[in-house]
């Protein structure tokens, strides 16, 4: 049995399925090290089934943040890497973790294989930052990346393709599959009774209401589409510092009942109802895990086309197939794309296409196969 120590900043709740699969693998003695969650991020509930028999493999460390939570020092990590020898160290940290630099270097000196599970190169790094980042990632024997695009950047900068594995990202795949079955047969008027005309195409955004999401663009685009008469409904699901501003911008939509703000929602069944019965999810800023969440419930995704400013999950979108890309910061192009999309929909076909990419790559079972290949010394599949 191989021994693996997995060092993470925190234990975010969306990682529960993949951590559960990894820690329960009978061939691996997998230990997780993590600090307390920050900024309201929900942590994994380790009291739930799946972790109870492995509590001895879960280890808390102390996080010390500096410079507006960009630099992180973690206690115990260096000590663990200096202790009894083990086989593999996995770090999910980025280069702004001094304790990771030291720990990874110690592991290499001791003959312990070092793997990074990280965003890697984004493609926008330059100068000193690029050089430093390349030095950091060269501490790893292998790198597990969230997207193919990042793998391409690493290869361009001299990293060997056979040391670069694309592991993608995932949410609670099994729970979403069950919910999709449970939600079959729902009607729009059951889920969206607050709209004057629930039968209209429904566009949805889900996530934190912050400036970086550029939701003012989405409100402007839908307002233009509904200029003469309502042609689409808009649901804004979430809360955040921009909510009051957006509600003021959407005053007409609220009065005419084609716009609705749900507020914060953490009930996965409610979220599933809203996403599965919407026709399109749009995130005018970057898309991130919102895209995976929406596709998991069979709803296509629209977002901007500048991949340098995107999150890795944007790679799950195939333009014109299970979503679309519009010109970054171009409200008119966003309006045109939304209008074209909602007027030419085969909802059942789009539901199948949306599930397709999740079933293939963006799930913990595919991620497990990547880890198996890495530990077996096999070449990357992608």
Q: Where, residue-wise, is CATH 3.40.50.2000 in the chain?
A: 2-170+363-376, 173-360
pLDDT digits (tens, 9 = 90+) for 186-197: 999 999 999 999
**Does residue 339 have a pLDDT over 80?**
yes
- pLDDT per residue as tens digits for the range 44-75: 999 887 898 899 999 999 999 987 678 999 99
pLDDT tens readout for residues 295-324: 999 999 999 999 999 999 999 999 999 999
Quickly state the pLDDT bin for 20 (edges 50, 70, 90).
very high
Q: How far is CA 11 from the centre of its chain?
A: 14
Beta bridge partners of 259: 234
Q: Which residue has the higher pLDDT, 38 or 210?
A: 210
Nearest to 113 by CA among 382, 322, 377: 377
Angle at alpha carbon of residue 37, lines to 143 and 66, rounded to 5°: 80
Q: CB–CB of 233/197 below 8 Å?
A: yes
**H or E element: which one contains 246?**
helix 243-249
Q: What is the per-residue pLDDT for 316?
A: 97
Q: In Å, how far are 49, 213, 215, 257, 344 from 229, measured between CA atoms? A: 51, 27, 22, 12, 19
The strand pair at 164-166 and 301-304 is best described as: unpaired
CATH of domain 173-360: 3.40.50.2000
CA 283/CA 370 separation, integer angstroms: 29
Helix (H, G, I), strand (E, B), or coil: what is residue 75? coil
Q: Which fold has domain 2-170+363-376?
A: Rossmann fold (3.40.50)
pLDDT one-digit tens code per residue, 128-144: 999 999 999 999 999 99
What DSSP letter does each residue of 165-200 carry, written as one string?
A: EE------HHHHHHHHHHTTT--HHHH-TTSS-TTS
Dihedral (C-alpha) 338, 313, 38, 23: value to the nearest 10 degrees? 140
| CB neighbourhood size of 199 (10 A) | 11
Phi, psi dihedrals of residue 51, rounded to the nearest 5°? -110, -20
> Within a 10 A sphere around the Cβ of 289, how many other Cβ atoms?
18
């Amino acid at each position: 049995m191989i021994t693996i120590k997995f060092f993470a900043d925190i234990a975010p709740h969306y990682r529960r399925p993949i951590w559960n699969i990894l820690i329960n693998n009978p061939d691996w003695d997998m230990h997780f090290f993590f600090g307390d969650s920050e900024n309201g991020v929900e942590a994994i509930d380790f009291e739930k089934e799946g972790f109870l028999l492995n509590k001895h493999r879960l280890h808390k460390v102390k996080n010390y943040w500096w410079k507006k939570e960009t630099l992180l020092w973690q206690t115990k990590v260096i000590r663990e890497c200096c202790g009894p020898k083990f086989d593999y160290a996995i770090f999910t940290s980025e280069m702004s973790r001094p304790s990771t630099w030291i720990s990874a270097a110690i592991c290499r000196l001791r003959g312990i294989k070092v793997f990074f599970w990280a965003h890697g190169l984004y493609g926008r790094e330059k100068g000193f930052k690029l050089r430093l980042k390349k030095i950091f990632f060269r501490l790893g024997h292998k790198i597990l990346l969230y997207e193919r695009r990042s793998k391409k950047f690493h290869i361009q900068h001299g990293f060997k393709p056979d040391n670069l594995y694309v592991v993608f990202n995932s949410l609670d795949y099994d729970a979403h599959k069950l919910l999709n079955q449970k939600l079959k047969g729902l009607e729009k008027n059951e889920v969206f009774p607050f709209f004057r005309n629930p039968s209209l195409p429904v566009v949805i955004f889900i996530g934190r209401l912050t400036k970086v999401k550029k939701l003012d663009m989405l409100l402007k685009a839908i307002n233009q589409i509904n200029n003469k008469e309502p042609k689409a409904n808009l649901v804004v699901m979430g809360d955040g510092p921009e909510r009051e501003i957006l509600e003021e911008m959407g005053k007409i939509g609220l009065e005419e009942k084609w716009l609705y703000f749900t507020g914060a929602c953490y009930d996965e069944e409610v979220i599933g109802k809203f996403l599965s019965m919407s026709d399109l999810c749009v995130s005018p800023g970057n898309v991130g895990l919102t895209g995976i969440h929406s596709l998991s419930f069979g709803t296509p995704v629209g977002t901007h086309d500048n991949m340098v400013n995107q999150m890795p999950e944007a790679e799950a979108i195939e333009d014109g197939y299970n979503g679309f890309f519009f010109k970054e910061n171009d409200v008119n192009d966003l309006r045109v794309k939304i209008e074209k999309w909602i007027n030419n929909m085969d909802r059942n076909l789009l539901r199948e296409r949306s599930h397709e990419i999740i079933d293939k790559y963006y799930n913990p079972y595919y991620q497990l196969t990547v880890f198996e290949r890495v530990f077996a010394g096999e070449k990357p599949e992608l």
